[in-house]
Amino acid sequence: MLFFAFFALTAIASALAAPFANYTRCGNAISPGERDAVEAKFAIDSAAALAGDDSRIPITLPRRRTVHVVWHIIQESNSLSGGAISDDAVRQSITAMNQHYKGSTFNFVLDKIDRTTNADWFRYATRGTAQQTAMKKALHTGDAKVLNVYSVGFKSESLLGYATWPWDFSGNNADDGVVILYSSVPGGSTPQFNQGKTLSHETGHWLGVYHVFDDNYTCNDTDGVADTPAQSQPSFGCPTNKDSCPSKPGLDSIHNYMDYSDDPCMNTFTAGQFERMKTQALTYRGIKGVIWLPTITFLPPSFPTAL
């Protein structure tokens, strides 16, 4: 009897855990040939962009790169389980992302939230589907500088998110943006993936950085960034001391936002990743660093009252 009770409890626990154990963090991947072509073109394009950019001249004044955000909530009903996240959850997502990008000079500003009730889009909008094409064609807002975020249900696959690359904008403007699982926002219902770090990961792609691991599972250092160690495979959970390329310097970047670790494990970008984002954003999105000074309020002097 005890055996059957234990078996039943184990089965229930497994059933409850199953929906959360098999998520694919990201739908982005790039083949070696595609990457080589992208990087060759980027070398040419970025040289031209940098030559005309006075915002990269070293000066002591701080600069800010503002990214305007338009958030499209796609829902199948007015319930939270139907995708109807609150405006406050969206604002918390932007606040969290600014914390994750601290030190990058990027500042994300929420311009607008809109809501669309469409069960077909909520369930089946994902990369390459007719539902995604229709959704983005109807809702996409702004130019290459504007980050369009779509929160959906991904009911046809266990996916957390995906993004477009900056170098693809000119070929298909309306497709540009980031698509995430609605329950991955801060405080969402997806355990281990509910601190808003899916959005930060996908925005990293939108700003031009690759995964820290090689999408083709080799120890070739393929992310175009010098300060991330070679890594041949994604990380899952938070595997301390993981080293997928022991013959090369450094442990795997399990805490990096561009790995696949659980949200509580992620806490860093590197300086090299930030530099690549700045150059990609300038080259393909026209986002420049603008001199920024904090607002200073001058108060009139006060004098002691005469006795």
Measured CA to CA, the distance from residue 181 to residue 47 in angstroms comes to: 36
Catalytic residues: 202
Q: What's the CA dihedral at 284, 290, 295, 296 to 10 degrees?
A: 160
Measured CA to CA, the distance from residue 54 to residue 290 in angstroms comes to: 10
What Cα–Cα distance (Å) separates residue 203 from each residue in 36, 120, 177, 258? 22, 25, 8, 10
What Cα–Cα distance (Å) separates residue 177 from each residue in 56, 60, 126, 166, 213? 26, 33, 12, 9, 22
- Residue 240, beta-bridge partner list: none
Instruction: Decide if 186 contacts 96 (C-beta within 8 A).
Output: yes
CA angle (190 as vertex; 184, 193 as ends), nearest 5 = 55
Q: What phi-psi label fits residue 128: left (phi over 0), alpha (psi between -120 and 50 degrees) or beta?
A: left
